[in-house]
Amino acid sequence: MRAFTTLAAVAGVLASGASAENYLGFNSGSTKADHSAKFKADFLQEFKTAQNLESAPGTFNAVRLYTNIQAYSKDDPISAFEAAVETKTKILLGVWTSGTDSIANELNALKKAIDKYGKSFTDLVIGMSIGSEDLYRISETGIKNEAGVGAGPDVLLKFISDYKKSVAGTALAKVPIGHVDTWDAYTNATNKAVVDALDWVGVDEYPYYESGKGNHIKNSGKLFDRAYDAVAAAVGDKPIWITETGWPASGPDWDEAEATVANAKYYWQEIGCRKLFNKVPTFWYNLRDSNPDNKMQFAITKDLSTKPLFDLTCPTTFDTPTGTSASTASATGSQTSVSAPGSSATGGAGSTGGSTDSGSSGTGTDSEASNQDDVVEGSASLGKGLSAVTIAGLALVAGVFALF
Ligand SMILES: *[C@@H]1O[C@H](CO)[C@@H](O)[C@H](O)[C@H]1NC(C)=O
């Protein structure tokens, strides 16, 4: 047993690679639930609440943004930057890359921010994500689900290059570059060139939306771990950042998944506390809901109160078995894959809708309506993808075995 545990631990370390500081934050779109723009006061309130949440298992002093552009403007810097400077909130930047052949407005807004705020801004920037779920939307599943306009590896590579040129010689030149997508985008060999171009990979994971996979809340830990481990096996030593995850506190049932406060709390503990907080850079979904079209409400607090819907304290014991890499390997024989297409529903509907629409294209908004239904069938075709990854996982474990 002890040997087994050690083995699993070693495999886990190898699989997850070196990781940076384990940031804690939430996602924040550029608009509110009524589609009106967020301004500095709105971001200030969000960031202050995040940092002062009662019984939080750490300080939530980071934020993931989806665009550099202030809503209602062409290329003015988003006012979240100024609010972040005032509250010392760390920033994971994002650039919207689907349905456009230019990210010039995004880059202009960023340049203006660098000029205007200088070091007080650039010192807070912890990463840049070029794109969000673009590869999912053009995958077989995404197309079948009419997930909306996406972008292929070539487009992403071009925008990564555009971004690099744009920040060369600035204080952001050293900021690590990532991309955010669903897990199966990373296990798809066609997308390898994108992974190779990144410093870290951002993964959106929502076990809630895993229809047909036994997505009861009690299974959420297992579902989460399988998808996470599949990515880890596929991306080698690139650090993984969990850019979106969460469980709705209210809304309709989704197959076996029920949206309740009790389940949102369980998920916080079983995925957040057990697997992510202070272990992996994590951007929880979410502090505040921003998409009125999504019946699932993910906010962990009401009206930005610092008193959350449930006690955020982390327990010391968990239901999900530990030694996840080993469990992936052993589970794979019998089980098919797990996808995180829910990310597109919530990411797309919740975050994309609430964020990117002000940016370079209307694509984000277009995809909202369809996403909801899409997700139901989302995981059907993913079994094939995992088997290869699983084999890699098994090989990894076997390789570790050889060390003993
Ligand atoms: C793999 O990725 C490519 C490029 O992103 C995409 O065209 C293809 O459909 C993906 N494969 C699957 C099975 O989704």
Residue found under tokens 């084999």 = 391
pLDDT over threshold 80, residue 339: no
Quote the percentage of the chain above a pLDDT of 70: 75
**Which amino acid is located at 157 in the chain?**
L
Please report the atom of ligand 1 found closest to the CA of residue 141: 14
pLDDT over threshold 50, residue 17: no
Q: How many independent structural domains does the chain possess?
A: 1
Query: φ, ψ for residue 359 (rounded to 5)?
Result: -80, -145
Which among 21, 30, 93, 8 is positioned nearest to 58, based on CA atoms? 21
CB 69 within 8 A of CB 30: yes
Residue 135 Cβ contacting ligand 1 at under 6 Å: yes
pLDDT digits (tens, 9 = 90+) for 92-144: 999 999 999 999 999 999 999 999 999 999 999 999 999 999 999 999 988 98
Q: Average of pLDDT values for 236-264?
A: 97
Report if residue 214 sits inside a domain.
Answer: yes
CA angle (397, 223, 287) in 5-degree steps: 120
Residue 360: CATH number of its domain: 3.20.20.80
Please report the atom of ligand 1 found closest to the CA of residue 385: 13
Report if residue 74 sits inside a domain.
Answer: yes
Which among 260, 284, 261 is positioned nearest to 272, based on CA atoms? 284
pLDDT of residue 6: 43
Report if residue 1 sits inside a domain.
Answer: no
Report if residue 245 sits inside a domain.
Answer: yes
190 CB neighbour count, 10 Å cutoff: 11
- In this structure, what token pair is assigned to residue 199? 């410093």
Which residue among 133, 137, 138, 187 is best mutated to probe the pocket of ligand 1, counting the most ligand atoms within 8 A of its Cβ? 138
Report if residue 339 sits inside a domain.
Answer: yes
Domain that holds residue 39: 7-401
Torsion angle of C-alpha atoms 39, 41, 44, 45, degrees rounded to 10: -110
Report if residue 56 sits inside a domain.
Answer: yes
Q: What is the 3-state secondary structure (H, E, C) of 159-203?
A: HHHHHHHHHCCCCCCCCCEEEEEEHHHHHCHHHHHHHHHCCEEEE
Which among 107, 118, 203, 81 is positioned nearest to 160, based on CA atoms? 107
Which residue among 46, 133, 210, 270 is the active-site one? 133
pLDDT digits (tens, 9 = 90+) for 35-53: 999 999 999 999 999 999 9
Residue 138 Cβ contacting ligand 1 at under 6 Å: yes
pLDDT over threshold 60, residue 367: no
Report if residue 137 sits inside a domain.
Answer: yes
Report if residue 2 sits inside a domain.
Answer: no
Q: Which residue has the higher pLDDT, 24 or 7?
A: 24
- The Cα–Cα gap between 196 and 358 comes to 30
CB 53 within 8 A of CB 90: no
